[in-house]
Amino acid sequence: MSTSPALAEAQARGLIKDVTDLSGLEAAMQSSISAYAGFDPTAGSLHIGHLAPIMLLRLLARHGHRPIAIAGGVTAQIGDPSGRTEARALLSPSEIDRNLARITEQLEALLGQHTPVLDNSRWLGQALMPAFLREIAPHFSVSRMLSAESVSERLDSCKGISALEFFYPLLQAADFLTLFRREGCVLQIGGSDQWSNILGGIELIRRVEGAKAFGLTQPLVTTANGAKMGKTASGAVWLDAGMTDDQAFFQFWRNTDDADVGRFLRLFTEIPLAKIAELETVTGSGLNAVKERLAREVTRLVRGPAAAEKALTSARALFSGEGAASADLQAIEVGSAELAAGLSLAAVLHRAGLADSRGAARRLIQNGGVRIDGKKVDDPGAELLPAIDGQTVSVGKKRHARLLIRS
């Protein structure tokens, strides 16, 4: 067991994969330290894959340490090659600015007013780049950068890697050095694919400042069936309610596989570990209440108490059969013109992410797995009629949405 209460709890919750120097970090954490995690604004919202570092930053704060979040306005202009088989599409400056503003709001809401959220353009801006290159670049050898897993894998593939992406680890190391100097930050947190980048920052601090710093990586969170956490047939599960509505967000957690419930309670909630151990003893139909607790806790954290209670009420109405029509469901919008031209139910199920393909949707219908307003649909080629406006489509027992006609 770790001698640091914060590390001990983080380990027990499954929030840690590797630490560069565990005994050294334990010693440093006998007093308060500053730690940071970076979030590049490559989309208009964070998604639930970002919750693991957020939960660790919150845990550190509860134990008296000082978390810092970086919203990478500059690093987003390049794109981290780690864990990717090809380069990200480059965003325009206006897109990055919009994304930056939104994820900054999300981080501030999730981490609280005492956690600074900093934009690295404050120290990596265009005017500062020549000085950055003179100070930082001499400490990085090309041979070492080529040996990084994210680089070597891309070089071995037919995709290759651009000089722009190749430059990314230097920027991340510069972030760590800057935070060490300005904020006394000695710990960087990242995903397991960030190990090489984190080591670069630690080595830079050692060379330039002659000081000790630490790195901590987190495991890639996957579901019981091996799928990457937060990926569904319709794409990522976003923290922004405008991109994934409250009911769909709640339902994602409510539909957690039985084998994942205890692990997700530890990773994504702040329920005490002793209580989680108690909840893990629940079996059979009682697991539904535990899944509700998981969904309620995560939705409350991300969307607020009112959204969590409303989603819970709607979900209970659906599962009890006591008025699905009143539930606040994900909307599937159908154009009146395409409806008039002939639109199959299978196509709509695929579009809404309720089936992986049109063929899969037709098989679901044929096997009796689809209902509209509680009535089973048995024709795989069924087309939607104008009367569907406002009706509820259900796939199995757990996935529901409302069909809406729009001009």
What is the end-to-end Cα distance of the chain in Å, rounded? 62
Q: Where are the domains of the chain?
A: 5-218, 231-326, 331-406
Distance separating alpha carbons of residues 379 and 371, to the nearest angstrom:
11
Q: At a CB cut-off of 8 Å and minimum separation 6, what does 140 contact?
A: 169, 170, 173, 200, 204
Which residues on neighbouring strands pair with residue 333, listed in sequence order? 404
The alpha carbon dihedral of 258, 263, 269, 270 has a sign of positive
Question: Quick check: 108 pLDDT over 90?
Answer: yes
Residue 31, CB-side half-sphere exposure with 13 Å CA sphere: 3
Residues sharing a CB contact under 8 Å with residue 116, sequence separation 6 or more, in sequence order: 68, 69, 183
For residue 171, what pLDDT band results from cuts at 50, 70 and 90? confident
Task: Indicate whether 384 pLDDT > 80.
Answer: no
What pTM value is reported for the model? Answer: 0.76
Overall average pLDDT of the 90-117 stretch: 92
Strand partners, 19: 216
Annotated binding residues for ATP, written as ranges, equal: 231
Mean pLDDT of the chain: 84
Contact status, residue 81 vs residue 150, Cβ threshold 8 Å = yes
**Is the model's pLDDT at 92 over the cut of 50?**
yes
Highest mean pLDDT, choosing among 72-76, 99-103, 120-124, 315-319: 99-103
Structural fold of domain 331-406:
3.10.290
SS3 state of residue 336: helix
Task: Answer yes or no: is pLDDT of 327 > 60.
Answer: no
The CATH T-level fold of domain 5-218 is: Rossmann fold (3.40.50)
Quick one: 231-326 is in which CATH superfamily?
Tyrosyl-Transfer RNA Synthetase (1.10.240.10)
DSSP per position, 255-309 = T--GGGHHHHHHHH----HHHHHHHTT--GGGHHHHHHHHHHHHHHHHH-HHHHH
Mean pLDDT, range 175-186, rounded to an integer: 96
Point out the annotated binding site for L-tyrosine: 36, 168, 172
Do the Cβ atoms of 315 and 250 come closer than 8 Å?
A: yes
The contacts of residue 337 (CB under 8 Å, 6+ apart) are none
Numbered residues of the known binding site: 36, 168, 172, 231
- Whether the per-residue pLDDT at 86 is higher than 60: the answer is no
Residues 252-299 have pLDDT tens digits of 899 899 999 999 999 999 999 999 999 999 999 899 999 999 999 999
393 three-state secondary structure: strand
Least confident of 21-25, 132-136, 367-371, 380-384: 132-136
Q: How many other C-beta atoms lie within 10 A of the C-beta of residue 1?
A: 8
Find out whether 115 and 36 touch, Cβ atoms under 8 Å. Answer: no
